[in-house]
Amino acid sequence: MSDWQDDDVVADQYEDAGNLGARQMLHARFAASEQSRYEWLFDRLDLPADAEVLALGGGNGTVWAVNADRVPDGWDVTVTDAFQGMVMSAMDALEDAAHDFNFDAVDARDVPYPDDTFDAVTANHVLYHLDDADREQALAEIRRVLKPGGALYASTNGSDNLAELWDVAEAFAEFPDELPFSLSNGGDQLREHFDSVERHRYDTELVVDTPEPLVAYVLSLPGVDPAAGPDLERAFRERFEDGELRVETDIGVFVARLAE
């Protein structure tokens, strides 16, 4: 089990929105694409006008906050997370949204809703935090609560995501070579539970003009000594060319559907 799957480490990482916010900020400030990845993820949702949607591991609610004015009136969206602090952050982020959202504290391994409840379940950058047995349990739970014809939208990273950042970060802590649920291995796992699986990629890059957000990103990760900040900044500055560092992203989403 890697640190990314250890329950105590994950709890420490996500007891509030601080660490997640540092990572989101890097993408929000420096993404080269005109469309944010949150808008792109929302555009992948192909749902009926009266859809019931469950967001597992919804974190601080950013996906829904960015797209709040695009949510159809007929959708009933329940935003959940395993950690109460994250649920509270999501509630704050969506407090003034025109659309009414529901909120709940939910562990993906034990979803407290009846069979055949939802048209869609989203699990954005969630499944790689679970070890193999827990991930299997979570997928079985997701399948159980989906209606016939329903879909899981599960985003994750590929092996090339933020390669330039990891080239620097690996000198300061140990990180897994590949995520246990990634763009390369996630499809086979989903096909064990769903009738059809499609993979969509959102490939862009970050054009970073200052090292501080890169440092904040690395310091937000498990196992990195907070005192490493000055050394990290020097290491990143050495990679800059003409005042910037281009960082590749490799992000995507699986759409796994049940038969009607």
The ranges assigned to domains in the chain are 7-161+176-205+249-257
Q: What is the pLDDT of residue 161?
A: 95
Strand-pairing partners, residue 156, are: 252
With CA atoms as reference, report the closest residue to 174 among 222, 238, 228, 231: 222
Per-residue pLDDT of 33-73, as tens digits, reads 989 999 999 999 999 999 999 999 999 999 999 999 999 99
Whole-number Å distance between alpha carbons of 92 and 4: 27
Per-residue pLDDT of 188-201, as tens digits, reads 999 999 999 999 99
Question: Does the pLDDT of residue 18 top 80, yes or no?
Answer: no
| pLDDT over 90 percentage in the chain | 86
Greater confidence (209 vs 178) lies with 209
- Stretch 111-128: mean pLDDT: 98
Q: What is the pLDDT of residue 11?
A: 54
- How far CA 142 is from CA of 14, 44, 74, 214, in Å, comes to 21, 18, 22, 34
Q: What is the pLDDT of residue 23?
A: 86
Per-residue pLDDT of 142-155, as tens digits, reads 999 999 999 999 99
Question: Does the pLDDT of residue 210 top 80, yes or no?
Answer: yes
Helical residues (DSSP H) of 151-211, grouped into ranges: 163-169, 186-191
Q: Is the dihedral of CA 180, 185, 187, 188 positive or negative?
A: negative
Question: Does the pLDDT of residue 249 top 80, yes or no?
Answer: yes
Cα-Cα end-to-end distance for the chain = 36
Whole-number Å distance between alpha carbons of 53 and 109: 17
Mean pLDDT (the chain) is 92
Whole-number Å distance between alpha carbons of 227 and 240: 22
Name the CATH code of domain 7-161+176-205+249-257 (choices 1.10.1740.10, 3.40.1180.10, 3.40.50.150, 3.60.150.10): 3.40.50.150
Which pLDDT band holds residue 2 (cuts at 50, 70, 90)? very low
The answer to whether the CB of 61 falls within 8 A of the CB of 124 is no
Q: What is the pLDDT of residue 10?
A: 55
Q: What is the pLDDT of residue 1?
A: 36
Strand-pairing partners, residue 208, are: 245
Whole-number Å distance between alpha carbons of 216 and 76: 35
Is 109 buried (19+), middle (13-18) or exposed (0-12) by CB count in 10 A?
Answer: middle
Q: What is the pLDDT of residue 181?
A: 97
Question: Does the pLDDT of residue 103 top 60, yes or no?
Answer: yes
The single-letter DSSP state of residue 216 is H
Strand-pairing partners, residue 250, are: none
